[in-house]
Structure 1
Amino acid sequence: MIVCQSCGEHNAPNAEFCGHCDDFLKWTGTPAQTGAVRPDTRQQVLHHRPQQTERRQAQPGDLICGQCGSGNVPARRFCGVCGHSLVDAAVRERPWWKRWLPAKGPKVRQGGSRPRRTSGAARVRHGIGLAIRWVLALAVLLFAALYGFSHPFRSSVNTQVVAAKDVVAGVFVDNPVPVRQSAISATRELPDHPARLAMDNDKGTFWAAQTDPGTTALTIQFDHVTDLRRMIVHIGDPKKYLGSQRPQRLTLVFDTGKTHDVTLTDVPDPQEHAIRNGDGVRQVQVLVAGVFPSTESTDTAIAEIELFEKQVK
């Protein structure tokens, strides 16, 4: 190691300038011996092993040496371990989540800087900003907890998200118009609640069937080729909503060979969903792929299904 004669700082053997005070490093070795030396005279050679400067654990704001990877305080211009220039050294950034936390310990300032006086208004603004950040963080945690553990809250959020998605999707397509079916049938139905009640424009009636998810379905036919764009679904028994099972997921199977899945929420309100892959169809099968269970009945009820097609210009 080369010891700086100005500040006494240890530097690497190949360093030209002190990493602490930037002073030029002069070689301070022992001058070579001059004059004749007897052959039988054995001199004791002392090998000096320079003391290795310990690597500094990189801290936020430190300059990372591009040669040895050690951390250096921002005031240094050369690495304290290998003497490499720190002109192009990368600065270690503080993790994003730590930026929300108040700083601990004394504030480190650069050399030559002078602390500014903080006015009362600035302190108030800083306090308000810090309070807002904590409120936002707590709100995010509360929202995540409610969404994870509260089923009604999760269903409400999903409904709002799906509705917003459908509104955005509707901006890029033509305004759909209602389409009427030419025929409707079901693989299963109760005697008092046949398949036709699912599309009779009466929200007080409903189609119901003993549920076997994956096989219970409605088959809807049209008298012309249509491009389906949207559907509105009313699930459950309108008079006793929790008295029967409600569809949780519907799979639309088109006669073109394409399909589209619709995820429903467990609410009695009408649910509007966009339809994909519904171009050029004359028949669609609405398959009950999953249900919301009921403690009173194993029958699944759908009050109304409304279909909309692309408007023909």
Structure 2
Amino acid sequence: MQPTADPRPTPAHRERQRDEPPPQAGDLICGQCGAGNIPTRRFCRSCGSSLVDARAVPKPPWWKRLFTRRPQQQPNAGDRPARRQWRRPGCLVPLIVIAVVLGVGYALRSHAGEALESVRDRTSKTEQVHAVKVTASSAQEGHPASLAVDGTTDRYWAPAEPGGGEGEFLEAVFAEPVRLVDLVLYPGVAPVAERFLTQGRPREVLVAVTAGDGKVTTKTLRVADEPGKQTFHVPVSDAVRVRLTVRSAYGTGPAKRVALAEAEFFKRR
């Protein structure tokens, strides 16, 4: 009877040689000798052990890689040192990233403020703000500018001269700056259908809102040729004056004038 052969001994754990380069991010670490291997290898390049259960060196996050300097390669003994060349400072990339972020933030600061105000406009309640002074470019006798803000819709403002009314305007002044949100118009002489067509109606109106610092914000409104309330969103902060200028009108004629029954202004609470 032949003696049974001893089982092949398990190879002892080998330590990584000192002159061997350290494992890089993504390398597979051999469980026997600790050598680093590229991810595509199946067996260790140093000891030949299987890399099935080898763990990979994790990659650091991107923000940490920005501040990590690459290791310098040491020259071999007897080699002539390479001529020193200009190298990019290690802090250059982080400084560029910070500068770009600050530049974009500065450029978009106004848009961010407008977006915040828009959200507040949608989530807050509004209330009507009354003008303390109302003037007009001209007015027909018996139809002064004050009738466009008197709280009723059966009386109206009309310019002095008949026709299309191009360039005629109505201007309202507030007692203090407000966050203007909406403008409501009642075109024509009244919201009643029987009277609506008896005079001209504004079709295109240029709204110019003046803020407390003198800045003017303009917006062109397209008014539908139908009686009743029409609401327009005109968001402007610190509004102190609103001018409504007629650009064009419906139903004009030599004996008709452009009429505006009522103009209402709403601010954010």
TM-score normalized with structure 2 length: 0.49
Structure with the larger strand share: 2
Query: TM-score, normalised on structure 1?
Result: 0.43
Task: Give the structure, 1 or 2, with the largest relative contact order (CA under 8 Å, sep 6 or more).
Answer: 2
